[in-house]
Structure 1
Amino acid sequence: MKNSNHNLGFGMWHKARPFVLGMLLCSGGSAFAQSTNPVINNIVTEETSNSQLQKLAHELFDGIGPRLVGTPQMKQANDWAVAKYKSWDISARNEKWGEWRGWERGISHIDMISPRVKSLEGTQLAWSPGMGNKTVTAEVIVLPDLADSLAFQAWLPKAKGKLVMISMCQPTGRPDYNWQEFATKESFDKMKAERTAMTDAWKKRISKTGYTNRTLPVALENAGAVGILTNNWSAGFGVDKIFSAYTKKVPTVDIALEDYGMLYRLSESGGKPLISLHTESKELGVVPTFNTIAEIKGTEKPDEYVMLSAHFDSWDGGTGATDNGTGTLTMMEAMRLLKKFYPHPKRTILVGHWGSEEEGLNGSRAFVEDHPEIVKNLQALFNQDNGTGRVVNLSGQGFADAKDYLGRWVAALPDSLKNRIKTSFPGQPGGGGSDFASFVAVGAPGFSLSSLNWSYGAYTWHTNRDTYDKVVFDDLRDNAMLAAILAYLASEDPAKTSTTKTEGIKWPVQIKSTRRGGLDK
Structure 2
Amino acid sequence: MKTTQKSRLLLFIATMLSSSFAFSQSKEAFVANVTKEATENSQLEKLAHELLDVVGPRLVGTPQMKQAGDWAVKKYGEWGISSRMENWGEWRGWERGITHIDLMSPRLRSLEGTQLAWSPSTAKGKPINAEAIVLPVVADSMAFVKWLPMVKGKLVLISQAQISGRPDKNYEDFATKDGLAKFKKDKQDAANAWRDRLSKTGLNAKNLALAIEKAGAAGIIINNWSAGWGVDKVFGANTTKIPTLNLSLEDYGLVYRLVEYGSKPMLRITSESKELGVVPTFNTFAEIKGSEKPNEYVMLSAHFDSWDASSGATDNGTGTIMMMETMRLLKKFYPNPKRTILVGHWASEEQGLNGSRAFVEDHPEIINNLQALFNQDNGTGRVVNIGGAGFAKAKDFLPRWLAAVPDTIRNQIKTNYPGTPSGGGSDNASFVAAGALGFSLGALPWDYFSYTWHTNRDTYDKIVFDEVRNNAILAAILVYMASEDPEKTSTEKAPMPVNPRTNQPGIWPTPVKANRKGGLN
Cα gap change, 1:151 to 1:306, in 2 (>3 Å): same
Q: How many residues align?
A: 495
Larger Rg: 2
Task: Say whether residues 1:455 and 2:447 are aligned partners.
Answer: yes
Matches of 2:88 and 2:508, distance apart in 1: 26
Give CA deviations for 1:196-233 in whole Å, capped at 9, x if unaligned: 11111111111111211111111111111100000000
CA deviation map 1:34-56 (0-9, x unaligned): x9710111100000000000000
Structure 1 residue aligned with 2:51: 60
Q: Which amino acid aligns with 2:82?
A: S
User: Residues 12-27 of structure 1 correspond to what in structure 2 (within 5 A)?
Assistant: 12=20, 16=24
For residues 203 and 252 of structure 1, do their structure 2 counterparts lie closer, same or farther at Cα, with a shift above 3 Å needed? same
Find the aligned partners of 2:168 and 2:439 in 1 and give their Cα distance. Answer: 33
Partner of 1:518: 519
**Alpha-carbon distance in structure 1 between the residues aligned to 2:496 and 2:382:** 32
2:233 match: secondary structure? coil
Q: Distance in 1 between matches of 2:465 and 2:66?
A: 26
**Residues 410-489 of structure 1 mapped to structure 2, 5 A cutoff:** 410-489=402-481
Matched, 1:153 2:154: no
TM-superposed CA distance for 1:185, in Å, is 2.0
Alignment counterpart, residue 111 of structure 2, candidates 120, 123, 131: 120
Instruction: Give the conservation status (yes or no) of the 8 Å contact 2:389–2:432.
Output: yes
Corresponding residue to 1:354 among 332, 338, 346: 346
- How far is the alpha carbon of 1:178 from its aligned partner? 1.1
Instruction: Pick the aligned partner of 2:136 from 140, 144, 169.
Output: 144
CA drift of 1:123 comes to 1.1
* Secondary structure, aligned partner of 2:441: strand
Quick one: distance in 2 between partners of 1:190 and 1:411? 52
Task: Name the SS for the 2:384 alignment partner.
Answer: strand
How far residue 503 of structure 1 moved from its aligned partner, in angstroms, is: 2.0
Query: Residue 206 of structure 2: SS of its match in structure 1?
Result: coil
Which structure 2 segments of 5+ residues have no match? 1-16, 498-506
**Residue 390 in structure 1 maps to residue 391 in structure 2:** no
CA contact (8 A) 1:10 1:492 kept: no
User: Any stretches of 5+ residues in structure 1 without a counterpart?
Assistant: 1-8, 18-34
Q: Partners of 2:198 and 2:166 in 1: how far apart?
A: 25
Distance (whole Å) between structure 1 residues aligned to residue 69 and residue 400 of structure 2: 35
Matches within 5 A, 1:246-257: 246-257=238-249
In structure 2, do the counterparts of structure 1 residues 13 and 217 end up closer, same or farther at CA, with 3 Å as the change threshold?
farther
**Cα displacement (A) at 1:137:** 0.8
Q: Distance in 1 between matches of 2:139 and 2:313?
A: 44
User: Which residue does 1:407 correspond to in 2?
Assistant: 399
**1:37 equivalent in structure 2:** 28
- Distance between the aligned counterparts of 1:413 and 1:136, measured in 2? 58
Shift of 1:10: 11
Q: Judge conservation of contact 2:496–2:508 (CA < 8 Å) in 1.
A: no
Between the aligned partners of 1:205 and 1:67, the Cα distance in structure 2 is 35
User: Which letter does structure 1 place at the counterpart of 2:365?
Assistant: E
Q: Does 1:509 align with 2:518?
A: no
Q: Hey, what's the Cα distance between the residues in 2 that align with 1:270 and 1:198?
A: 20
- Contact 2:100–2:114 (CA under 8 A) maintained in structure 1: no
Q: Match of 1:214, SS?
A: helix
Which of 270, 277, 281 is the equivalent residue of 1:278?
Answer: 270
> Does the aligned pair in 1 maintain the 2:84–2:284 contact within 8 Å?
yes
| Cα distance between partner residues in 2 of 1:378 and 1:128 | 40
Q: Give distance in 1, aligned partners of 2:303 and 2:193.
A: 38
CA–CA distance in structure 1, aligned partners of residues 369 and 23 of structure 2:
28
Aligned residue identity for 1:512: K
**Partner deviation per Cα, 1:264-318 (whole Å, 9 max, x = no partner):** 1110000111100110000000000000011000000000000000000000111
For each residue in 1:317-376, what CA deviation from the matched residue of structure 2 results, as whole angstroms up to 9, or x when unmatched? 110000000000000000000000000000000000000000000000000000000000
1:16–1:88 CA distance, 2 compared to 1 (3 A): closer
Question: Would you say the 8 A contact 1:142–1:264 is kept in 2?
Answer: yes
What CA RMSD, in Å, does the superposition of the two structures yield over aligned residues?
Answer: 1.4
Question: 1:8-64 CA distances to partner (integer Å, 9 max, x unpaired)?
Answer: x996469859xxxxxxxxxxxxxxxxx971011110000000000000000000000
- What is the CA-CA distance between 1:508 and the residue it aligns to? 0.7
**Residue 11 of structure 1 contacts residue 494 of structure 1 at CA under 8 Å; is this kept in 2?**
no
8 Å contact kept, 1:11–1:493: no
Q: Aligned partners of 2:18 and 2:246: how far apart in 1?
A: 55
2:38: which partner in 1?
Answer: 47
Q: Secondary structure at the match of 1:112?
A: strand
Identity among equivalent pairs (%)? 66
CA contact (8 A) 2:31 2:404 kept: no
Measured in 2, the distance between the counterparts of 1:241 and 1:302 equals: 43
The reply to whether residue 85 of structure 1 matches residue 86 of structure 2 is no
Cα offset for 1:504?
3.5
Q: TM-score, normalised by structure 2?
A: 0.93
Q: 1:51 to 1:251 in 2, by over 3 A?
A: same
**Counterpart position of 2:227:** 235
8 Å CA contact retained: 1:98, 1:290: yes
Deviates more, 1:499-508 or 1:407-416: 499-508
Give the 5 Å matches for 1:302-341.
302-341=294-333
1:114-169 deviation digits (Å, cap 9, x = unpaired): 01000000010000001122101111111000101111111111100110000001
CA distance in 2: counterparts of 1:11 and 1:246, whole angstroms: 61
Specify the alignment match of 1:106 in structure 2.
97
Amino acid at match of 2:305: D
d(CA) in 2 for partners of 1:230 and 1:126?
Answer: 13
Q: Distance in 2 between matches of 1:10 and 1:229?
A: 70
Q: Distance in 1 between matches of 2:427 and 2:100?
A: 36
Residue in structure 2 matching 1:74, options 65, 69, 78 = 65
CA distance in 2, matches of 1:13, 1:96: 44
Q: Please state how far the C-alpha of 1:177 moved relative to its aligned partner.
A: 1.2
Measure, in 2, the Cα distance between the counterparts of 1:118 and 1:503. Answer: 60
Matched letter for residue 225 of structure 2: W
Q: Take 1:157 and 1:120, find their aligned partners in 2: how far apart are those partners?
A: 27
Query: Compared with structure 1, are the counterparts of its residues 62 and 10 closer, same or farther at alpha carbon in structure 2 (3 Å cutoff)?
Result: farther
* Aligned with residue 379 of structure 1, among 371, 383, 400: 371
